[in-house]
Amino acid sequence: MSNYPDLHLLIGGEKLSGGGRETEEVLDPATGETITTLSRATPDDLDRALEQAESGFAEWKNTSADKRASILMDGAKLIKERAGDIAQALTREQGKPVAEAKGETMYSAMLLEFYAGEIKRLYGRTLVRPEGSRVEVQYHPVGPVAGFSAWNFPSLNVMRKIGGPLAAGCSVIVKPSEETPAAGLMLAQALLDAGVPGSALQVVFGVPSDVSEHLLGSPIIRKVTFTGSTAVGKELSKLAAEDLKVTTMELGGHGPVLVFNDADMDKALDQMAGAKFRNAGQVCVSPTRFLVQEDVFEKFRDGFVERAEKVKVGNGFEDGTDMGPMANSRGPDGLLKKINDAKSHGAKLLTGGERIGNQGNFFAPTVLSEIPTDADIMNEEPFGPVALINPMGSEESMIAEANRLPYGLAAYAYTENPARRRRLAAQVEAGMLGINAASVSAADAPFGGVKWSGHGLEDGAEGVKACMVTKTVHEG
């Protein structure tokens, strides 16, 4: 069906696997079958990676900006050339349609190109002082970075962990998800092939908490960047605090969508149904709580159900598949539990609500309506193909419901009223707000959350600055 690469650790430029190391299986989410096994790094491997990261930092930060930029541009070119192969591996291990996997990989290359361009714009500044004295504001790379990424975007998440640090002049040790290891490994290999020193970019796998405790326990690591759940983000933040390491946390969300009675309804429905079922809803910025003004509620609800029922669910390698399986068996199990809980609280199940077939992790596109706010699913991120649609009254009550949860990653609104758009921009608590727009991510735009959705930014100029420290030099 597809070529899946050999898996290994990448430490100091060396490919390491086997040798008595513990292993774990990588599963195909469409069939449940084992694709291959993955070696876990030993404590000695991690110590070596740390030593290498220290020397890699010294080498990479002293590489000229032009050279670093040109290496990263070459890396982006190689990723684009290899995007077809990377996408095949990505679909095999994660399940999403292969066209989406390729799009994600091309986007990862574009993000790297953007970061490469930013290297040449890392200016400091000189403050105005009387003759004979001088004050300079300088930006320096923070130091070796440890990155931990999730399985929902196996290539983009990894690029977000490595692109900013490398552009800033940091070395980085990244641990992609053990459930989706190949795509990130292939991205890293492209960067090494382009000339990034093997000590400046390393890839490790293992038991996640063991690896993070080991790496964060070392004073060599100066920054931690994580994509995943809020619960794990809090744990890693505590570990980082022991040594006051800098953190970037891209955590969960519970995307509210405010649909007003003056909205372009077809646009809202087409964009939001597309966004909801993309990657089987396993997207941190997925729209989840649809808050719809009463007089357009039925129209929106029925239009959404119609679109959900047209989504073609299947193997990501089959032509015409809109939505693949969920990426791991925790997905359908957790979703069923939340849907049953919602039904027991009186929610109406309008479509879906069950697994499809008896192999793999396929789940039907699901729509629930009139869900009480005390149902678990209205409070915990479902991270799956389920839309929650509730009728709402005033603008104020919709904003209050949008802000009710401790999360604040992406929020969306559909309205043709310009004054209302300004009010929403001011009042909705979110790191990103899409107004009449479903896409809230772009290489040049900062990406990140507020409240329990985390802090620190990736992408945009901010994604590089997040990997730098400021030094003010006063000369008398």
Judge contact between 169 and 60, C-beta under 8 A: yes
Q: Please tell me whether residue 104 binds ligand NAD under the rule CB under 6 A.
A: no
Instruction: Quote the least distance from Cβ 433 to ligand NAD, whole Å.
Output: 17
| Interatomic CA distance for residues 424 and 428, integer angstroms | 5
Residue number with CB closer to ligand NAD (68 or 214): 214
Do 311 and 323 form a contact (C-beta atoms < 8 A)? yes
C-alpha angle with apex 212: 9 to 184, nearest 5 degrees? 40
DSSP-derived 3-state class of residue 147: strand
Total of chain residues touching ligand NAD, rule CB under 6 A: 22
Nearer to ligand NAD, 194 or 440 (CB): 440
Interface with ligand NAD in residues 225-264 (CB under 6 A):
227-229, 232, 235-236, 250-252
Q: Which helix (H) or strand (E) covers residue 79, if one does?
A: helix 65-81
CB of 298 to ligand NAD, least distance (A): 30
**Which of positions 311-370 make contact with ligand NAD (CB under 6 A)?**
330
User: DSSP letter string over 380-413?
Assistant: S---SSEEEEEEE--HHHHHHHHTSSSEESEEEE
Task: Single out the residue of 60, 107, 115, 151 in contact with ligand NAD (rule: CB under 6 A).
Answer: 151
128: Cβ contacts below 8 Å, ≥ 6 apart: none
Residue 209 makes contact with ligand NAD by CB under 6 A? yes
- 414 forms part of the interface with ligand NAD (CB under 6 A): no
Cβ atoms of residues 98 and 58 within 8 Å: no
Q: Does 447 bind ligand NAD (CB under 6 A)?
A: no
- Residue 150 is a binding residue for ligand NAD (CB under 6 A): yes
Spatial separation of the C-alpha atoms in residues 96 and 399, rounded to whole Å = 33
Nearest to ligand NAD of 289, 301 (CB atom) = 289
Q: Are 405 and 386 in contact (CB under 8 A)?
A: no
Report the alpha-carbon distance of residue 91 to residue 89 in Å, rounded: 6
b or e along 428-454 (b: 16 or more beta carbons within 10 Å of the residue's beta carbon)?
Answer: bbbbbbbbeebebbebebbbbbebbbb
Question: Which of 57, 60, 139, 148 touches ligand NAD by CB under 6 A?
Answer: 148
Work out which of 39, 108, 171, 177 binds ligand NAD, going by CB under 6 A.
177
Q: Which of 208, 274, 406, 446 binds ligand NAD (CB under 6 A)?
A: 208
**Nearest one of 406, 183, 428, 389 to 276, comparing CA atoms:** 389
Look-up: residue for tokens 């490994």?
Answer: 185
Active site members: 250, 284
**Treating both helix axes as pointing N-terminal to C-terminal, what angle do 182-194 and 65-81 enclose, rounded to 10 degrees?**
130
381 binds ligand NAD (CB under 6 A): yes
Query: Beta-carbon neighbour count of residue 374 at 10 Å?
Result: 9
Give the residue with the Cβ less far from ligand NAD, 180 or 415: 180
Residues forming contacts to ligand NAD in the complex (CB under 6 A) are 148, 150-152, 177-178, 208-209, 212, 227-229, 232, 235-236, 250-252, 284, 330, 381, 383
